[in-house]
């Protein structure tokens, strides 16, 4: 192309524009957006990669939780934060969305636990006081087992046992819950070694199911033979052994408690497996009663006063409990001219049979062996009688013992249950003895004795006169003796008469003895009805 010179209006020459060919390389101006995009992508990747796992916790209330401020802690170390708080669609609960620091994903399993830490008073202790200044927070108990999840139900109260505490869980079955509650202490030799974790009524409503946790190393003292008993509140019992008041601790007094121990001589040293089931006794005394699987009913008929005998009273043989009073009939039965009251008891005769012999007996063979044993004991003098177990309370119990001098008797099988022979109790024996002594004293022929002495004196005088008349020789030898005898009889007559000194003293003594006998009989009868009067005195 031929360039042509052009000039402007001023006559100056203007060069022609030169068109450059297209530039195929990268222009510098595009480097800035590219660099910005790379930095943004890197920041986004860094942000996403450093973001922790997000999850949702369901609480009944948002008390103590603030959006964007409330922290999530484990062992007082912050590991997350609450992002937002909102209601569920039906307004029945609150949904808290939170985020944990990276690396905590593996702990978000179905066994993880969350709860709000705030000041609480319960279980005999005060917790969460630090939140009065720093504010509340959500505590986490990480889970190690279970399937991963991102949805949880928060605890309204802190869990009793967390995953970082070593120990073993067990189940207890009780007739009633008593004063127990969640976090009630479990004692071993009066040391707190565990807590109650939960409780619920059984599906069939026959018992209360209680879960407990015993911390290591104390769980190694729980064996299959271990007994558990309730120590909640104040255990006040009045029985044949007297008044007993037992308080395990002030904490147990307020929130209830459970104690456990293994009977002495237990041979099995194996530890009880986790979630083993034990029976929870009402108190320590009940736990000490050796369990007997079979009880045999018997009938007793007492003519004594049954005041002080109650259902549940023990049946003992020389201080060892063999049974229990199960029922006292409210009727009188006339037998052989006396009125008696039927008392139903349950005996555990297995306690008197050697363990080796019991191993080979069962069913009808065991029943027959026990029947033979009871019959043999009755032939040897086995009798039942009422005894006072405590003079202060007046409680009675049934005593079984051997009385070889007792009248012969047999087991009566005429009724529904076999009937064992009985005999009067100790107080009844005192009353009977006092009555017999009184009757004998009242039957003493004092007047007849004095009359006989007078007749003897008259006869002696007549004998002396006959000897003096018919046998003068004998009279000379015997007169002195007869006169001495006469003088003695006259003295006895004078002394023994109502006007004589000895006679008056004798009459007064006999009257006092009679009065004392009557008082003794009245006292014995009163003591039989009120034996506690020996300690407390006679009431108004």
- H or E element, residue 491: helix 472-496
Model confidence at 342: pLDDT above 70:
yes
Q: How many CB atoms lie within 10 A of CB 352?
A: 14
| pLDDT of the residue at 143 | 72
Identify which has the larger pLDDT, 262 or 125.
Answer: 262
Which one-letter DSSP state was computed for residue 461? H
C-alpha span between 239 and 394 (Å, rounded): 9
| pLDDT of the residue at 87 | 92
For 338-377, give the DSSP string. EEEEEEEEEE-GGGGS-HHHHHT--THHHHHHHHHHHHHH
pLDDT tens per residue, range 82-111? 999 999 989 899 999 999 988 888 888 988
Identify which has the larger pLDDT, 536 or 39.
Answer: 39
CA angle 378, 383, 388 (to 5 degrees): 160
| Average pLDDT of the segment spanning 167-180 | 90
The residues, any chain, with a CB within 8 Å of residue 478's CB and separated by 6 or more, are 467
Model confidence at 374: pLDDT above 60:
yes
Query: Using an 8 Å Cβ cutoff, are 256 and 124 in contact?
Result: no
Model confidence at 335: pLDDT above 60:
yes
- Residue 287 is encoded by which pair of tokens? 């736990």
Burial profile 125-145: b = 16 or more Cβ within 10 angstroms, e = fewer: eeebeebeeeebbbbbbbbee
pLDDT tens per residue, range 474-530? 555 555 665 666 666 566 556 555 555 555 666 676 676 666 666 666 666 666 666
pLDDT tens per residue, range 16-33? 666 656 555 556 667 777
Which one-letter DSSP state was computed for residue 233? S
For 247-295, give the DSSP string. ---HHHHHH--EEEE--TT----PPPPTT-EEEEESSHHHHTSPP-S--
| pLDDT of the residue at 2 | 45
C-alpha span between 491 and 450 (Å, rounded): 12
Query: Using an 8 Å Cβ cutoff, are 205 and 172 in contact?
Result: no
| Average pLDDT of the segment spanning 197-223 | 91
Nearest residue to 151 (alpha-carbon basis) of 218, 97, 91: 97
At 178, is the pLDDT very low, low, confident or very high (cuts 50, 70, 90)? confident
| pLDDT of the residue at 1 | 44
Q: Omega into 486 within 30° of 0, i.e. cis? A: no
C-alpha span between 538 and 522 (Å, rounded): 13
CA angle 356, 359, 362 (to 5 degrees): 140
Q: Are strands 113-117 and 120-122 parallel, antiparallel or unpaired?
A: unpaired
Model confidence at 200: pLDDT above 60:
yes
pLDDT tens per residue, range 424-481? 876 555 555 555 555 555 555 555 555 665 666 566 566 556 656 655 555 555 556 6
Residue 302 CA, chain-centre distance (Å), reads 32
- Domain ranges in the chain are 54-153, 167-287, 296-424, 434-534
| pLDDT of the residue at 212 | 95
Total residues found in the chain within this entry = 540
Query: Using an 8 Å Cβ cutoff, are 458 and 524 in contact?
Result: no
Model confidence at 57: pLDDT above 50:
yes
Model confidence at 66: pLDDT above 80:
yes
Q: How many CB atoms lie within 10 A of CB 96?
A: 25
| Share above pLDDT 90 across residues of the chain, in percent, rounded to a whole number | 15
| pLDDT of the residue at 287 | 77
| pLDDT of the residue at 186 | 93
pLDDT tens per residue, range 379-414? 999 999 988 876 666 788 899 999 988 888 899 888
pLDDT tens per residue, range 232-271? 755 655 555 555 555 555 555 556 789 998 766 555 567 8
C-alpha span between 382 and 205 (Å, rounded): 43
- Bridge partners (DSSP) listed for residue 80: 72, 100
C-alpha span between 296 and 370 (Å, rounded): 9
The residue with tokens 């007739």 is: 175
- Residue 415 is encoded by which pair of tokens? 């009724």
Lowest mean pLDDT among 72-81, 157-166, 461-470: 461-470
At 217, is the pLDDT very low, low, confident or very high (cuts 50, 70, 90)? very high
Whether pTM exceeds 0.85? no
Nearest residue to 427 (alpha-carbon basis) of 295, 502, 530, 326: 530
| pLDDT of the residue at 96 | 94
Identify which has the larger pLDDT, 522 or 421.
Answer: 421
The residues, any chain, with a CB within 8 Å of residue 163's CB and separated by 6 or more, are 111, 141, 142, 143, 144
| pLDDT of the residue at 228 | 93
| pLDDT of the residue at 122 | 56
Mean of pLDDT over the chain: 75
Most confident of 154-158, 190-194, 242-246, 289-293: 190-194
């Amino acid at each position: 192309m031929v360039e042509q010179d052009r000039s402007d209006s001023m006559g100056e020459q203007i060069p022609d524009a030169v068109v450059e060919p297209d530039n195929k390389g990268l222009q510098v101006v595009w480097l800035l957006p590219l660099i910005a995009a790379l930095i943004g992508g890197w920041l986004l990747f860094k942000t996403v990669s450093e973001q922790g796992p997000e999850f949702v916790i369901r609480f009944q209330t948002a008390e103590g939780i603030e959006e964007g401020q409330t922290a999530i802690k484990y062992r007082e170390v912050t590991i997350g934060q609450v992002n937002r708080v909102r209601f569920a669609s039906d307004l029945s609960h609150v949904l808290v969305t939170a985020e944990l620091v990276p690396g905590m994903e593996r702990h978000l399993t179905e066994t993880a636990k969350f709860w709000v830490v705030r000041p609480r008073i319960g279980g005999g202790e005060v917790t969460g006081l630090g939140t009065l200044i720093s504010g509340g927070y959500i505590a986490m108990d990480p889970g190690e087992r279970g399937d991963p999840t991102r949805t949880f139900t928060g605890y309204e109260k802190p869990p009793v046992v967390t995953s970082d505490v070593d120990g073993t869980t067990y189940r207890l079955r009780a007739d009633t819950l008593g004063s127990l509650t969640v976090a009630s202490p479990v004692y071993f030799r009066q040391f707190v070694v565990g807590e109650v974790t939960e409780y619920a009524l059984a599906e069939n409503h026959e018992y209360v199911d209680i879960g407990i946790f015993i911390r290591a190393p104390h769980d190694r003292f729980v064996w299959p033979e271990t007994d558990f008993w309730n120590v909640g509140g104040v255990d006040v019992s009045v029985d044949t052994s007297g008044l007993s008041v037992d308080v395990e601790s002030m904490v147990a007094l307020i929130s209830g408690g459970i104690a456990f121990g293994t009977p002495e001589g237990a041979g099995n040293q194996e530890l009880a497996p986790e979630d083993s089931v034990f029976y929870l006794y009402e108190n320590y005394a009940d736990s000490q009663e050796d369990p007997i699987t079979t009880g045999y009913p018997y009938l007793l008929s007492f003519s004594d006063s049954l005041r002080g005998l109650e259902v549940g009273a023990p049946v003992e043989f020389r201080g060892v409990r063999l049974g229990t009073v199960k029922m006292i009939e409210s009727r009188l039965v006339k037998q052989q001219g006396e009125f008696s009251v039927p008392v139903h008891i349950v005996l555990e005769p297995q306690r008197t049979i050697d363990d080796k012999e019991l191993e080979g007996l069962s069913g009808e063979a065991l029943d027959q062996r026990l029947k033979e044993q009871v019959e043999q004991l009755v032939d040897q003098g086995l009798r039942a009688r009422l005894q006072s177990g405590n003079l202060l309370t007046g409680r009675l119990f049934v005593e079984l013992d051997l009385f070889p001098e007792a009248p012969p008797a047999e087991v009566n099988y005429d009724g529904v249950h076999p009937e064992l022979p009985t005999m009067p109790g100790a107080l009844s024996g005192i009353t009977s003895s006092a009555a017999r002594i009184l009757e004998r004293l009242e039957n003493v022929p004092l007047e007849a004795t004095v009359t006989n002495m007078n007749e003897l004196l008259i006869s002696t005088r007549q004998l002396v006169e006959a000897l003096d008349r018919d046998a003068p020789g004998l009279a000379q030898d015997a007169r002195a003796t007869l006169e001495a005898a006469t003088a003695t009889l006259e003295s006895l007559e004078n002394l023994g008469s109502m006007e004589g000194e000895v006679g008056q003293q004798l009459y007064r003594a006999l009257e006092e003895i009679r009065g004392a006998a009557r008082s003794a009989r009245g006292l014995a009868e009163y003591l039989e009805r009120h034996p506690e009067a020996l300690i407390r005195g006679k009431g108004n």
